[in-house]
A and B are shown apart, each in its own frame.
Chain A
Amino acid sequence: MPSPFSFSLESPVLSKAELKPEYDVVIVGGGPAGLATAIYAARAMLRTAVISKDFGGQVLDAHSVENYPGFIKTTGQELMNAFKEHAEHFGAELIQATVKDIWREGDHFVVDTDRGSTKAPAIIYATGSTHRKLGVPGEEEFLGKGVSYCAICDAALFQGKVVAVVGGGNMAFMDADLLTQHASKVYIIHRRNEFRAEPLWVERLKKNPKVEFITPYVVERIEGTDKVEKLIIKNRETGETKELPVDGVFIDIGMIPQTELAKRVGVELNERGYIIVREDQSTNVSGFFAAGDVTTGMNGVHQIVTAAAKGAIAALSAYDYLKGKGFVK
């Protein structure tokens, strides 16, 4: 993890490449699915662009990745740098930009960004997901005043403070682990007594003297004057409500797929808002493929390794599509 004594050379947000007017395939989204797609597309010798606001996606928030095959322990940042370097090595162009719109024009898709427009006969949509909010009073009001969604960004600002992490998945446990390096006390608040996080994470944090588990509780309100001072939490079994004094609260209760632009080109979503993909990662829109957390194809396993695997399938399906339609030889 970058520290005051480490000097990254690669930035996940500062890229130099310029958008060209045309590609064979445009990948929207630069997380593990998008970058793995780019490796396979570039090796299929497709003219490949990845357009994303950052390269690494949610993985950048992970200070400790211990389940990506071949790496016993690495950081999200280092792993994503390796993905990025790998994609660029084989010729994929990584463009740091915000995609504003996508539409079909004849047999191509036009992709409009804040750094210009481009077009391609195939799109691979790998935009992932964004943080789910608790949706409780105080959450918006105290955003940046004790409410955070990025422990890797903000943990160091809570030196010696008392914080809570809300959630029961890997990310919640990872963030709690990181916070114990700075805070004096870390509560993990979860709605159930069971956790979705890997049992290894649960075991580890149960042994950490700074960590206290509060289950089965939900957060009802976040309160304070200028900044967060306490949480009002409720026991889901007994209905009992109590106050928990904290200086900060980190929210890790899952993700919402980012499908806005896909919807505009008529891509079908399931009832939970995920893009419906077939086994080959194609969607109902011809030439429009999708991969990773934004799709139904993950079987609930939102991991770097699964996202990368689906990206490989999407790239090769897009290649077959482009060949079949005569766009490439």
Chain B
Amino acid sequence: MVLSDKDKEGVKKLLEPVQRDVKILFFRDDSSRCQYCDVIEELLEDIHSVNEHVIYEVLDANSDKAKEYGIEGGPVLLFEERPNIRYRGIPSGHEFPAFLDDIVTIAKGSVDLNANAAKKIARIQEPLHVLIFVTPTCPYCPLAVRAAHHFAYANDKILAEMVEAIEWSDLADQYRVSAVPKIVVLDPETGNELLEWEGAVPEEVFADYLLHALEHKHGAHDHHH
């Protein structure tokens, strides 16, 4: 048990709108980046214990099932009916409310986006891969995670992954992360970096950046950042 009884009460209250099943798949790889894997499993069990609609399955991050989702190595959490909303690493500290928010969003089946941001996100017709690097102690990071996850909910062309930079330090090094939140937008077909920035920006600005990223993909040369 990782949640105290008091926390469980709080989680139960926050998850009251969850009245139908939401299934979480947890891909773990015991040989790699697994310092919090057991904590993640306990967390999922604790959440399930306060709301039986939140169900989970633990899978091998190197299995065929993982490959179906394009996963190579864990830990990765995703929502079975919205597999484009993901957490690489533990959704703890300040990210925990963002994780609960995702569960509620999926159960309710609707997302509350800023109207201008919603219009911009609807214009994205090609796949984009968004990595949001965070640390659990960063108070501002959930804002970026929530925005990206809401965008992914609204438009399944967007794959949005929170990346906990300590567990995924190899990925954090690859993308030169030394301040969070750091957002990296990739072309999922080539793996090329299209755009990156630091900081939690308002939803509408975030949506603009994603449109910029698409322009970069098409060779426009207006250099941003």
Residues of A within 8 A of B (CB): 1-14, 53-54, 56, 60-61, 63, 77, 98, 114-115, 143-148, 150, 152-158, 226-227, 248
- Closest 8 A-B residue pairs measured CB to CB? A2-B93, A144-B198, A11-B97, A153-B138, A144-B179, A9-B10, A60-B139, A13-B143
Partner of B204, one of A114, A146, A248: A114
If A114-B202, A157-B178 touch, whether A7 touches B137 (CB-CB below 8 Å) is no
Residue contacts A-B, CB under 8 angstroms, 10 given: A2-B94, A3-B137, A4-B136, A7-B96, A9-B11, A54-B139, A143-B198, A145-B176, A153-B138, A153-B141
CB distance from B7 to the nearest CB of A (A): 6
Inter-chain contact B139/A77, CB cutoff 8 Å: yes
Inter-chain contact B179/A157, CB cutoff 8 Å: yes
Chain A residues contacting B200 (CB-CB under 8 Å) are 13
Inter-chain contact B114/A4, CB cutoff 8 Å: no
Question: Interface readout for B131-152 with A: 1 if CB under 8 Å, 0 if not?
Answer: 0000111111111001000000
- Nearest-neighbor residue (CB-CB) of A147 within chain B: B179
CB distance from B178 to the nearest CB of A (A): 5
Inter-chain contact B178/A98, CB cutoff 8 Å: no
Inter-chain contact A2/B202, CB cutoff 8 Å: no
Inter-chain contact B137/A1, CB cutoff 8 Å: yes
Partner of B176, one of A6, A154, A155, A226: A226
Chain A residues contacting B92 (CB-CB under 8 Å) are 2-7
Inter-chain contact A248/B178, CB cutoff 8 Å: yes
Inter-chain contact A9/B96, CB cutoff 8 Å: yes
CB distance from B196 to the nearest CB of A (A): 9
If A13-B139, A13-B200, A148-B179 touch, whether A7 touches B7 (CB-CB below 8 Å) is yes
B76 within 8 A of A: no
CB distance from B14 to the nearest CB of A (A): 7
Chain A residues contacting B166 (CB-CB under 8 Å) are 4, 156-157
CB distance from A83 to the nearest CB of B (A): 14
- Nearest-neighbor residue (CB-CB) of A13 within chain B: B143
- Nearest-neighbor residue (CB-CB) of A61 within chain B: B139
Chain A residues contacting B129 (CB-CB under 8 Å) are none
Inter-chain contact B136/A227, CB cutoff 8 Å: no
Question: Interface readout for B1-14 with A: 1 if CB under 8 Å, 0 if not?
Answer: 01100010011001
Chain A residues contacting B54 (CB-CB under 8 Å) are none
Inter-chain contact B140/A154, CB cutoff 8 Å: no
